[in-house]
A and B are shown apart, each in its own frame.
Chain A
Amino acid sequence: MNTSVSAEQQPLVEIRALTKAYVRGKQVVEVLHGINLDIPDGDFVALMGPSGSGKTTLLNLIGGLDSPTGGLLKVNGQRIDEFGSDRLAAWRASTVGFIFQSYNLMPVLSAQKNVELPLLLTDLNARERARHADIALQLVGLADRARHKPNELSGGQQQRVAIARALVSDPKLLICDEPTGDLDRKMADEVLTLMQQLNGDYGKTIIMVTHDPKAAEFARRVVHLDKGVLVDETTR
């Protein structure tokens, strides 16, 4: 199945014949088999599929957390499949924001300091970093929780801090791996509504892996994977 955008529109993510194989002991296990996928700028895509279908692997490759075995992977006009480790790190810092299922906040840092983390890699001074973090926390509705540590926040609030951290360096692309997996329905809907706002109001391109069909309803497009290939696509 090929899910390319029309020829005149330059996609933000361009994937051609992408493969990924892992070596486990003496066995080579191919997880992705020649994926072709285009994701235009400003899209909100949900990747769905059963466990082991390769959706998280695909997400990791698009986010520059791992390198493909073969094929072409272009994000924002750059062949990131050809990047070395340091260049990929710099690219992630400037282009991608990550949101994880288990939030992955630093437990010893306050919400504000967690949000400031990506800005440590910029030339901003301490005051500017704090100001940017404040704005990001306001955006996710947690300005009054800036001094709180993660263990003083609810799951939904922690995930919103993680979203603020993902947003603070103003990336084009948000990579979300089961962002509502640890949340109850109410909190999950709040977080997903926030993500929808970020997509609609701020033009962030979002790629989200989820098992939850209700979560996928918030996306514009749902792409299904099975056994390492794209099998279906639904556009809303």
Chain B
Amino acid sequence: MKYFQLIWTALFRKKLRTVFTVLSLSAAFLLLGLLQAVNSLFAGSVEFLGADRLIVQARTSFTQPLPMRMMPQIETIPGVARVNHSQFFGGQYQDSRQQFPQFAVNPQRLFDTYPEWVIDKDQRANFISTQDGAIVGRELANSFGWKVGDIVPLNSFIWVKSDGSRLWEWRIVGIFDGKNQEWQDRTQLMYLNYGQFDEGRSPGARGLAGVFVARLKSPEDSQRVAALIDSKFENSVDETKTQNEQEFQLGFIKQFGDIGFMMNLISGAVIFTILILTGYTMSQAVRERIPELAVLKCLGFTDNRVLWLVLAESLLLCLIGAAIGMGLSAMLTGALPPNFPPLRTDQRVWLFAGCTVLGLALAVGLPPALRAKRLKIVDALAGR
């Protein structure tokens, strides 16, 4: 701590240059924070999903439907508590920008397979008994201002009705919440009554399910039960691929490309650019101060102490830039309107930024620090 003023004043020896470097670092860390918030959103959106649910899909692809008759067969497998079927609906509300996930499900079985959803008893009964009924998550309802009784028209880019139309109308009969904050944050989806969906679609598509959701009696049984399900349908026309919910969701996200890889690639490019810039600044700053560093050694500062002083200066520079950039990133993500994806500068993002600061400080600080450590007093004072 007693060296802080020495480090601080050395850092701001050339104020304008340091301010510009800090601004560049801040911009880079703002971008990094936002990119990693997107990354974290995708990674975190599945991380909390329970291991006590299995998703059974067709072995070839989850876009390949499975016959409904498989549901009771899956339910008889030891370790399975309850099974539901689920079909991705792919509806657009008003225009293509207003997208949110909708699934056509069996309303009676939904809350057995997803006990994490909490809903009023009457609303639940209405969902079961209303052929064109739908329930929406609280956050989704709030973002569109929906309430029970509203009719929501959805234009499905997947499912055509038997009359050739793609426009489906759903009556909101309930609004559900999550059992805790984590699940509440996920209440941005809609469940549709399978009844209207199956009757309304073209006859050839009826009686088919997208995937089956099997809730297990014990999460420890996950691997064993998944293997049992797949072996039951092995060599049949409807071979299955069973995985836990987290693996399935990650696979689903990767349909759009490896988001994490892309975000990390761009983050890498940002870090590389800022590394070059900051590295140049640090080298320049130390080169200009060679006689001053030599004086410190004259006064009794050891080679290693001088090395640490330069490294600390590099760390301080990166920390200031990162703190400003990450602060802005946190403010921006916190101020996003409700109809935006729920980006957050969470612990994962801060950890990424922290590691980046350490790595960056070391990469840009070590070469000049080693130079400072090795400099010979006599040569440095003589300007050699």
Q: Which residues of A contact B (CB under 8 A)?
A: 60, 63, 65-66, 85-86, 89-90, 92-94, 98, 100, 104, 106-109, 113, 117-118, 120-121, 126, 129, 165
Establish whether residues A89 and B301, one from each chain, have CB atoms under 8 Å apart when the complex forms. yes
Say how far A168's CB is from chain B's closest CB, in angstroms.
10
Q: Given A85-B302, A108-B13, A60 and B378 touching (CB < 8 A)?
A: yes
Tell me the chain B residues, 263-322 only, with Cβ under 8 Å from chain A: 291-292, 295-304
* Chief secondary structure at chain A's binding surface: helix
Most chain A beta carbons < 10 A, residue from B6, B12, B291:
B6
Say how far B287's CB is from chain A's closest CB, in angstroms.
16
Q: Given A65-B298, A104-B292, A85 and B303 touching (CB < 8 A)?
A: yes
Nearest CB in chain B to that of A165: its residue? B299
Establish whether residues A118 and B299, one from each chain, have CB atoms under 8 Å apart when the complex forms. yes
B302 neighbours in A (Cβ, 8 Å): 85-86, 89-90
Say how far B44's CB is from chain A's closest CB, in angstroms.
45
With beta carbons under 8 angstroms apart, the residue of A86, A100, A107, A109 that contacts B381 is: A100
Say how far A78's CB is from chain B's closest CB, in angstroms.
15
Instruction: Answer whether residue B205 sits at the interface, using C-beta atoms and an 8 A cutoff.
Output: no
Instruction: Answer whether residue B228 sits at the interface, using C-beta atoms and an 8 A cutoff.
Output: no
Establish whether residues B300 and A94, one from each chain, have CB atoms under 8 Å apart when the complex forms. yes
B2 neighbours in A (Cβ, 8 Å): 120, 126, 129
A121 neighbours in B (Cβ, 8 Å): 299-301
* Chief secondary structure at chain B's binding surface: helix
Establish whether residues A113 and B298, one from each chain, have CB atoms under 8 Å apart when the complex forms. no
Establish whether residues A106 and B9, one from each chain, have CB atoms under 8 Å apart when the complex forms. yes
Q: Given A108-B12, A126-B2, A98 and B292 touching (CB < 8 A)?
A: no
Most chain B beta carbons < 10 A, residue from A94, A104, A109, A113:
A104
Nearest CB in chain A to that of B8: its residue? A108
B contacts with A, residue count (CB < 8 A): 24
Q: Given A106-B292, A120-B6, A93 and B300 touching (CB < 8 A)?
A: yes
Say how far A128's CB is from chain B's closest CB, in angstroms.
11
Q: How far is the CA of A65 from the CA of B5 in the complex (A)?
A: 26
Instruction: Answer whether residue B144 sits at the interface, using C-beta atoms and an 8 A cutoff.
Output: no
A94 neighbours in B (Cβ, 8 Å): 300
Report B108-136 CB contacts with A as 1/0, cut-off 8 Å: 00000000000000000000000000000
Establish whether residues A92 and B298, one from each chain, have CB atoms under 8 Å apart when the complex forms. yes
In the complex, number of A-B residue pairs with CB atoms less than 8 Å apart: 66
Say how far A86's CB is from chain B's closest CB, in angstroms.
5
Q: Given A108-B9, A108-B12, A90 and B377 touching (CB < 8 A)?
A: no
With beta carbons under 8 angstroms apart, the residue of A66, A93, A126 that contacts B299 is: A93
Q: How far is the CA of A165 from the CA of B296 in the complex (A)?
A: 12
Say how far B155's CB is from chain A's closest CB, in angstroms.
66
Instruction: Answer whether residue B256 sits at the interface, using C-beta atoms and an 8 A cutoff.
Output: no
B261 neighbours in A (Cβ, 8 Å): none
Given contacts A60-B377, A92-B300, A109-B5, 15 further A-B contacts (CB under 8 A): A65-B298, A66-B376, A86-B303, A89-B300, A89-B302, A94-B300, A100-B381, A104-B292, A106-B6, A106-B295, A108-B10, A108-B12, A108-B13, A121-B301, A165-B299
B301 neighbours in A (Cβ, 8 Å): 89, 121
Instruction: Answer whether residue B340 sits at the interface, using C-beta atoms and an 8 A cutoff.
Output: no
Nearest CB in chain B to that of A105: its residue? B295
B303 neighbours in A (Cβ, 8 Å): 85-86, 89
A66 neighbours in B (Cβ, 8 Å): 376-378
Report B29-54 CB contacts with A as 1/0, cut-off 8 Å: 00000000000000000000000000
Q: How far is the CA of A76 from the CA of B303 in the complex (A)?
A: 24
Nearest CB in chain B to that of A162: its residue? B295
A165 neighbours in B (Cβ, 8 Å): 299
Q: How far is the CA of A92 from the CA of B294 in the complex (A)?
A: 13
Q: How far is the CA of A149 from the CA of B297 in the complex (A)?
A: 21
Q: How far is the CA of A90 from the CA of B304 in the complex (A)?
A: 12
Q: How far is the CA of A222 from the CA of B383 in the complex (A)?
A: 28
Q: Given A65-B378, A100-B381, A90 and B300 touching (CB < 8 A)?
A: yes
B12 neighbours in A (Cβ, 8 Å): 108
Q: How far is the CA of A108 from the CA of B295 in the complex (A)?
A: 14
Q: Given A65-B298, A86-B303, A108-B10, A120 and B3 touching (CB < 8 A)?
A: yes
B13 neighbours in A (Cβ, 8 Å): 107-108
Q: How far is the CA of A63 from the CA of B299 in the complex (A)?
A: 11
A65 neighbours in B (Cβ, 8 Å): 298, 377-378, 381
Q: How far is the CA of A41 from the CA of B231 in the complex (A)?
A: 96
For this complex, 8 residue pairs linking A to B, each with C-beta atoms less than 8 Å apart, are A65-B378, A86-B303, A92-B299, A92-B300, A108-B12, A113-B5, A121-B301, A165-B299
B10 neighbours in A (Cβ, 8 Å): 108
Say how far A204's CB is from chain B's closest CB, in angstroms.
17
Q: How far is the CA of A126 from the CA of B1 in the complex (A)?
A: 10
Q: Given A106-B9, A109-B9, A98 and B298 touching (CB < 8 A)?
A: yes
